[in-house]
Amino acid sequence: MSGAKPPAGRIPLNTLAVAFGLAGLAEAWTAAGDALSFPTAVGSAFWAVVAVAWVWLLAAHVRRGAQVRRPLSQQLADPVQGPIAALVPVVAMLLGTALLPYSRGAGQVVVALAIVAATVFAGWFVGHLQDGGVSVDAVHGGYFLPTVAAGYIGSYAAARCGWDEVAAGAFFLATLGWVVTLGVLLARLASRPPLPPPLVPTLAILVAPPVVGGLAWYAMRGPHMDAVQAGFAGVGVVFFLAQLAFVRRYLALPFTLGFWSFTFPFAAVGEYVIVWLGVLRPAGWQVGVVVLLVLVTALVVGVAARSLVEVARGRIARAERVLQAGDQRALR
C-alpha cells in the first residue's frame, strides 16, 4: 500500500535464536539416529527445516535493513542485541557439518566460510568490549555466543572436517572465553539487580558450554571417556542442577521470542547424553535415548507452536514496535 509507513527499525537480533534452537533439535535427532540406526532421511528432514529457517531469517533481516535508516553497525554495537549476531555463522557451521555426509567438499566450504565469519565477528566483539562503555548490567547469557558457542561449535565442525589444528585453536579460544565470560556473568548476577524479564531466558545458556565443549572434545578425540570429557560431564551436571534455581523465575515469565533461548541449550544437553548413551550402552539405554528425544522435541515444538500463536495474535509485532520506538527499558 502506498500510504503504509515504513518500519521504524531493524528486526531484533534475538529472532536468530529460532534457527539456533531448530539446529539443536536437528542435532539431537541426528545423534539419536546414529545411536538407534534411524534412517538418515529423518535427520536430513530436520536439517532442511533449519536451512529454510536460517535463510528466511537472513532474508527478513536484510529486507528490513534495506527499508530502514538505522545502520547495522548501530544494532551490532547495542550491548543487549549485539552478541546475538554471532548466531548467523554459528548456525552455518552446524549446517555445514550436516552437509558433510552428502557432499564433503560443499560442507567444508560452508564450515570454512562460517568459521572465518565467526572469527572476524569475535575479534570485533572483543575489541568493542575493550573500547569500554558497556555497563555490567547489560551482560547476559548471550555474551557466551561470540567466543564460547562459536569456539566450541567451530571446534566441533572443524574436527568433523578433519582440520585438527583449527579445531584445537577454536577449542582453546572457547575455553578461555567461557572462563572469562562466566566470571563476569556470575559476578553480575550475584552483585547487581536481577536480569529484567526479557533477558531471563538467556540464563539457560549457562548449561550449554560444558555439553557443547564435551561434544567438541568427542569430535576431536573420539568416543572414549578421558579426564577432559569427565570434567565436562561433571561441570555439565552441576550447571544443569543450577538451572533449578531459576525454575520459579522461568515459570513466571510471559511468553516472548526470548523463550527460544531455552531451546538450544537443553537440546544440546539431550544430544550430549544421547551420544554417551549410544557409546556406553548401559542397560535400557535405548529407552533413555527415546525419552530424551521426546523431551527435546516437545520443548522445541512447544516453543515454536506458541511463537506461531503469538505471531497470529499480533503480540510479537507489538513487542517489536515497542523496541523500534527506542524504549530501552522494555528491551532490557
Confidence of residue 98 (pLDDT cuts 50, 70, 90): very high
How many C-beta atoms surround the C-beta of residue 45 within 10 A?
12
Highest average pLDDT, of 35-39, 64-68, 167-171, 190-194, comes from 167-171
Report if residue 4 sits inside a domain. no
- What is the DSSP code (8-state) at residue 201? G
Residue 133 to residue 301: CA distance in whole angstroms: 39
pLDDT at 316: 54
38: closest CA among 233, 274, 282?
274
Question: What's the domain count of the chain?
Answer: 1
Q: Tell me, what CATH number does 285's domain have? A: 1.50.10.150
Q: Give me 30's grid cell.
A: 541426528
Domain hosting 255: range is: 13-331
Q: pLDDT digit string (tens) for 270-315?
A: 999 999 999 999 999 999 999 999 999 999 999 999 999 888 776 5
Could you tell me if residue 5 is inside a domain? no
Domain membership of residue 180 (yes or no) is: yes
Q: Is residue 263 part of a domain?
A: yes
φ/ψ bin of 37: left (φ > 0), alpha (ψ from -120 to 50), beta (otherwise)? left
Nearest alpha carbon to residue 140 among 106, 174, 110, 182: 182
pTM above 0.85, yes or no: yes
| 2 within some domain | no
- CA separation for the pair 264, 194 (Å, rounded): 23
Q: What stretches of 223-262 show up as alpha helix (H) in DSSP?
A: 227-242, 247-251
